[in-house]
Amino acid sequence: MAQELGMKKLIVDIGRRLWIRGYVASNDGNVSVLLNKNEVLTTPTGVSKGFMTVDMIVKVDKTGKAVSNNSKYRPSSEIKMHLEVYKERPDIKSVVHAHPPYATSFAVAGIPLTKCVLPEAVISIGAVPIAKYGLPSTMEIPDAIREHIKYSDVILLANHGALTLSSDLLSAYHKMETLEHTASIVWKAIQLGNLNVLSEFERDRLMGLREKYNSQGRVALCDTTSMTINPETEKIVGEIVRRIMIEMNKKS
């Protein structure tokens, strides 16, 4: 019972972190933890993740049916997606789903975050694929993510958001932070007109660190080929830089 209460408190805390950081809006997003081999704790549907309380957390069985005594709250409408992860990945004990703005922008644009750019991201989340679009709360999303979760703990959901998995809840949340941080930096670098991609040699050295420190979870190898920046974007950025330089020279 103490373990269950502790898990519920952590879910509430993670929900608030997601809301404070702007990774979810209104009643968006959901979090779950595998309590034991037969039961899962999940956030309730129709409740802001920034204003949850421990009594709102719902316990469900492996079919998604609520087994909590509290009938006031219903399990997340996306529980099917979470249960699919636990079914396919016995090593996973927690799942976080959110709509972080930069990462979701890439998901909406149909651009996977697969380039080797930041060392920390290469090590912790690797190449991030995009699962095809599925209608929320249906089996379309579990069907769409099934192939991707076999080799990656971090997935973009087309026109929807992001999904992170881990052996514990805090780690799953941290992967969501890393994903959004990486997406924001990649987006800004693209606006500047250049994205330096790490070489295959450097990528392999970074992956060696995962082995050295026995890093858990699954990451897909990121892409080491250069990224072509849209010429029109490069032209706009160049014009902005030119105007800034003119204004700076006027003040000097």
Q: Which of 58, 2, 6 is nearest to 31 (CA)?
A: 58
CA distances from residue 76 to 41, 47, 56, 81, 231 in whole angstroms, order as listed: 10, 9, 11, 10, 43
| Residues paired with 95 in a beta bridge | 32, 165
Q: Rounded CA gap, 54 and 50, in Å?
A: 12
**For residue 161, what are its two tokens?**
């958001």
Q: Is 4 a catalytic residue?
A: no
Q: Which position among 78, 88, 200, 247 bears the catalytic label?
A: 78
| Residues paired with 94 in a beta bridge | 33, 166
Which DSSP letter does residue 77 get? T
CA dihedral 59, 147, 93, 95 (to 10 degrees): -60
How many beta carbons lie within 10 A of that of residue 87, not counting itself?
Answer: 13
Burial, 183: exposed, middle or buried (Cβ in 10 Å; 0-12, 13-18, 19+)? buried
Residue 155 Rama label (left phi>0; alpha psi -120 to 50; beta): beta
Q: Which of 173, 202, 237, 232 is nearest to 115 (CA)?
A: 202
> Which positions are annotated as active-site residues?
78
